[in-house]
Amino acid sequence: MRLARIRAVAYKEWREILRDRLFFTMAFGVPLLIMLVLGYGLSLDVENIPFAVVDQDRSPLSRDYIHRFSDSRYFDFLGYVERESDLDPLLADSRIRLGLVIPPRFEEQLRGDRPVAVQALIDGMFPFRAQTTKGYLAAINAELNQELLMDWLARTRGLTPERARERVEPVRLEQRYLYNQALKSDWSMASGLIMLVLMVSPPFLTALGVVREKESGSIYNIYASTLSRGEFILGKLLPYVGVSCFNILVMWGVATQLFGAPFKGDLPFFFFASLVYVICTAGIGLLVSILVSTQVAAVLLTMVITFVPAMLYSGLLVPVESMSADAQLQAWLFPPRYYLEITWGSFLKGLGWRDLWPPVAVLGGYAALLWGVGFLSFHKRPKR
C-alpha cells in the first residue's frame, strides 16, 4: 500500500472526470437539480382535491354546505352536474376525485329537525389520498353537525350559545407539533432528500467509473501494472467520495438557505456522519461494479438496489414503524433508514453524538463490510 500510487490513480481518475465535461457537470449538477425539483415539487400534502356536486336541492343551505368544501384549501370546486350518473365518467377519467350528492329536500329536512344523508363518492385509486379525503369529509361534517346540535340545544333547552358550545364539546384536544411546528413538508422533504441523493449518486459514479474501464478494456492496464488491488480501489473511489463530500455541503446549504429548514444539531457531527454514509454508499457502487461487466447493467442494477430502498424503505414517505414485518426487515437491511434518522435528528430535533451514535456505528460497520467484500472479490487475474 503506497500513498504515492493511490495518489496517482486518484489524480488520473480526477482528470478523467474533469475532461468529460458532460459527466463532470452532471456529477455536481444532478444532485442539485434533484434537490431543487423534488424539494419544490414533491409533496404528500393532499390539497386542491377536485370535486363536483349533484345538488338536488338547490337551496341556500345546500349552497352553504358546498361552500364549506370549496372555501377550504383542501378542495377545489369544479362545478355542478345534473345527475348522479354524470359523476361516473368524471371519476373514471380522473377529472374529479370526489363527488358529492346532496339529496332533494336537504334544507327542509334539516330545518324540520331530521337527519339527512349526504352521499360522497371517493376515488380510491390512491389509497393514501382516499383516506385523507375521508378524514377531511368527516371533519367538515362533524363541524356542521356540532353547529346544528348547538342550535338545536339553544332552541329546545333554552341554553345560551356559549353554554351550548361548552355542553356540546366538553373535551378539547390541544395539539402541539414538535420539531416541525408548521407541519411544513418542505422541511422534512428537503433534509430527507439529502439522504435520497447521497444514496443514489455515489454508487452511480463509482460503479460507472470502474465498469467503464472494464467495458473499454483499459482495466487490463491496471491488471498488468504493479498496482495492488487495494491501491487501485482506494485511488479509484477517492475522487468520487470527494465529489460527494462537496455535494453534501451544497445540499446542506440548499436545504437550510433555500428551503429554510432549520438546522438545530451539531454541524461537525452531521458532516462526519454524512461522510460515513457516502463511504458506505460508494461501497455499494464498488460491489455493483464487481458483479457486472457492462455499463447498462451497472446503471440498472444500481437503480434497483438504491432507488427503491431509498424511496420506499427509508422512512421518507412511509415511516418504518407503520410498515409490515417483512418491509421493516428490508428497512433494517438497507443503509438509508439509518442516515435518515441522523438527518432528521440533526436538522429537526437538534440531536448530536449522544443520541445518534448508534446509527452512525451501524453505517460504519456497513461501510467496512461493503469495502471488505469489495476488496476480497476484486481480482487482478481475470478468472477465465
For cell 480501489, name the residue.
233
Q: Measured between alpha carbons, how far is 250 from 27 in angstroms, rounded to an integer?
A: 12
- Give the one residue of 161, 253, 319, 372 binding other proteins; rule: CB under 8 A: 319
> Does the protein bind other proteins through residue 158 (CB under 8 A)?
no
- CA contacts within 13 A on the Cβ side of 305: 22
Q: Binding to other proteins by residue 8, rule CB under 8 A?
A: no
Residue 76 interacts with other proteins (CB under 8 A)?
yes
Residue with cell 427503491: 308
Helix (H, G, I), strand (E, B) or coil at 100: strand
**Of residues 81 and 110, the one with the C-beta less far from other proteins:** 110
End-to-end CA distance of the chain: 27
Specify which residues 51 forms β-bridges with: 77, 98
- Minimum CB separation from other proteins for residue 76, in Å? 7
Spatial separation of the C-alpha atoms in residues 100 and 79, rounded to whole Å: 11
CB 375 to other proteins: min, Å: 21
Q: How many CA atoms lie within 13 A of 101 on its CB side?
A: 13
62 DSSP assignment? H
For residue 321, the one-letter residue type is E
**Of the ranges 17-25, 238-246, 256-264, 276-284, which one interacts with other proteins (CB under 8 A)?**
17-25
If the CB atoms of residues 226 and 326 are measured against other proteins, the closer one turns out to be 326
Given 3, 18, 267, 296, the residue binding other proteins (CB under 8 A): 296
Q: Which amino acid is at 7?
A: R
Residue in 4, 60, 82, 93 binding other proteins, rule: CB under 8 A: 93
Helix axes 267-291, 229-253, angle to 10 degrees: 130
Task: Concatenate the DSSP letters of all residues of 369-384 into one string.
Answer: HHHHHHHHH--SS---
Q: Which is nearer to other proteins, 317 or 368 (CB)?
A: 317
Burial of 141 (0-12, 13-18, 19+ CB in 10 A): middle
Which of 183, 226, 268, 383 is in the footprint of other proteins by CB under 8 A?
183
Q: Is 303 near other proteins (CB under 8 A)?
A: yes
Stretch that binds other proteins, among 2-10, 212-220, 254-262, 271-279 (CB under 8 A): 212-220
| Nearest CB to other proteins, comparing residues 274 and 302 | 302
From the list 330, 364, 375, 380, which residue makes contact with other proteins (rule: CB under 8 A)? 330
Q: How far is the CB of 2 from other proteins (least distance, A)?
A: 29
- Contacts (CB under 8 A) with other proteins, residues 240-279: none
Nearest to 288 by CA among 303, 309, 308: 303
Q: Does residue 200 bind other proteins (CB under 8 A)?
A: yes
Contact 285, 203 (CB under 8 A): yes
For the bound state, the minimum distance from the C-beta of residue 47 to other proteins, rounded and expressed in Å, comes to 4
Structural contact between residues 75 and 106, judged by C-beta atoms closer than 8 angstroms: no
- 217's grid cell: 478494456
Number of residues that bind other proteins (CB under 8 A): 132
Q: Which is nearer to other proteins, 58 or 68 (CB)?
A: 68
- Closest CB to other proteins among residues 137, 251: 137
Q: Between 181 and 377, whose beta carbon lies closer to other proteins? A: 181
Instruction: List the one residue from 125, 333, 361, 376 that touches other proteins (CB under 8 A).
Output: 125
